[in-house]
Structure 1
């Protein structure tokens, strides 16, 4: 019995060591082929823009391609609901967005839970902002508020999806300014911008990145940041104008839950390395993004903090009971 038990222990130990070595080897070899980067929105939005910029640096670091694909629908829910069924070898990653991935499952059954997304890195955020076309009669935020007061519901906003940063910002703004507007969700920021530029709506809940990318076509009335954005020193913050609004959209990436931990760490390290590249940083800043680094080891704490904040906001805004 003792001999058998010893053999069993040794065999079990050997299998554990072998499994560890295999996992380490897989991680060290990763990536050995192209990585599919699924954006759960349509092309043209901030998630797409940043992914396109990351492609060059990903190839420089790994020697492999970062292949961008799109899976729009439901303000991201279509893609996120399918992530757990995708290959868990690290060669399929998906864009992950806050507050979307926390708020959406709170509102109704959207096919996924926040815990279904295994986030490995968060790399930037963009502050909320109200934008209008350059030929808009609304020169200031007060102009827009006055129009909304005079004809409740007639001022229309485009935005990226429901239970998104844009939706939350619009709801909070209506409460703070005591006005009623009409929010129209679109499948991503790109589509929301197109609606604004095409005259389908009078304003957009967008971001500093939209203003940076369309400086000759749009005007930003206010930005939801603690301080004025350096690219737009003439644009006041909501706080300056008397509205306690600070927030925006945070973007990162997630993998299926069964993805090996070593591969998750490799992905986290690769994208953190991209974020530290001076060329990439300059490109992102020139487009209005605000860079941040939340690696795999800090993700649990980061997500817990965000969940607490968004749950409080959701109750305050009536998105959940």
Structure 2
């Protein structure tokens, strides 16, 4: 009798393990971007931890809005997860036609960010951030900077820094980081709001004047942070993962723990940091407060942007 009870308990424990099969990981952008790169680096460690695969699929459109607007229509069994991005999921719903609200998205972790960086070409006359600021103050609006589209993380970074440094530049939005980089390297603009990841990919051609991290980035030990130069600015493009709202809380928590374990893996961390990312671990218990703080920051910038229109 005791043996039968033990067998039954063991069987129930085995049956309740999650995940029991592969998990579909939807990236709401096209292949090749930083969200895709991150997911592919996570695949190996997900399999090591769970014995199952992360199957990456794409649902591009609307800067992620196509995927996020459909997330809650998907099965809430834990076997469908979707990448999420900030500031996208906060700023998009502030505009009409996003198809979803920020609170519709059940995030269970934010695991890293691409720190904002003000970039110039290696031969730029701006050797320091002070040089850039001085030029912008001398002739307001004359200094041109490229970045991804309006209301993107790059646009937000530009707005935040203009307010902190009391300068005015001309921000020119492009369709994606690649086009923004091309504009800088082609001398169409004088600087670019990009990321440490961008600088890492193009270190032979461009350099950051400052980075939006709390401490100097290990890839750029000679580049100061905005903070140490007197500008209280950290952040960038944050990446997380969400599930449909119908997903049970215990399953959501299990997913959060799995991806937190991935984030803690020294080999994974080394790979991510070598690409220019900064890892964070805002798990299921911290996501709500983390998003609330980001919402406050983005709201202030959005109001400034609207006032300037």
Scaled by the length of structure 1, the TM-score of the pair is 0.80
Q: Deviations over 1:59-112 (max 9, x none)?
A: 222222223333333332232222222333322221112222112212433221
What's the CA shift for 1:54?
Answer: 0.8
Give 2:157's match in structure 1, choosing from 169, 172, 187. 169
Would the aligned equivalents of 1:107 and 1:163 in 2 still touch at CA under 8 Å?
no
CA distance in 1, matches of 2:133, 2:14: 57
CA distance in 1, matches of 2:27, 2:176: 10
Give 1:105's match in structure 2, choosing from 93, 103, 110. 93
Q: Which residue does the alignment assign to 1:232?
A: 220
Match of 1:81, SS? helix
Give 1:265's match in structure 2, choosing from 253, 257, 278. 253
Q: Which residue does the alignment assign to 1:60?
A: 48
CA distance in 1, matches of 2:144, 2:251: 45
Classify 1:304/1:143 alpha carbon distance in 2 versus 1 (closer, same or farther; 3 Å): closer
Classify 1:279/1:190 alpha carbon distance in 2 versus 1 (closer, same or farther; 3 Å): farther
Give 1:114's match in structure 2, choosing from 93, 102, 120. 102
Unaligned 5+ runs, structure 1: 1-23
Give 1:80's match in structure 2, choosing from 58, 68, 80. 68
Would the aligned equivalents of 1:134 and 1:218 in 2 still touch at CA under 8 Å?
yes
1:115-130 to 2 correspondences below 5 Å: 115-130=103-118
Would the aligned equivalents of 1:41 and 1:188 in 2 still touch at CA under 8 Å?
no
Give 1:213's match in structure 2, choosing from 201, 206, 224. 201
Match of 1:69, SS? strand
Q: Number of residue pairs matched?
A: 299
What's the CA shift for 1:190?
Answer: 4.8
CA distance in 2, matches of 1:169, 1:184: 13
Q: Which residue does the alignment assign to 2:192?
A: 204
Scaled by the length of structure 2, the TM-score of the pair is 0.82
Would the aligned equivalents of 2:119 and 2:209 in 1 still touch at CA under 8 Å?
yes
Q: Which residue does the alignment assign to 1:10?
A: none
Match of 1:250, SS? strand
Give 1:255's match in structure 2, choosing from 238, 243, 249. 243
What's the CA shift for 1:249?
Answer: 2.4
Q: Deviations over 1:112-153 (max 9, x none)?
A: 100111101111123211112334443333444455456654
Unaligned 5+ runs, structure 2: 1-11
What's the CA shift for 1:35?
Answer: 2.3
Classify 1:244/1:92 alpha carbon distance in 2 versus 1 (closer, same or farther; 3 Å): same
What's the CA shift for 1:268?
Answer: 0.9
RMSD between aligned alpha carbons?
3.1
Q: Deviations over 1:191-229 (max 9, x none)?
A: 544554455544321122222233223211111233322
CA distance in 1, matches of 2:107, 2:237: 15
Would the aligned equivalents of 1:170 and 1:205 in 2 still touch at CA under 8 Å?
yes
Classify 1:112/1:162 alpha carbon distance in 2 versus 1 (closer, same or farther; 3 Å): farther
CA distance in 2, matches of 1:162, 1:201: 17
Match of 1:225, SS? coil
CA distance in 2, matches of 1:194, 1:52: 26
What's the CA shift for 1:269?
Answer: 1.5
CA distance in 2, matches of 1:273, 1:27: 22
Give 1:304's match in structure 2, choosing from 286, 289, 292. 292
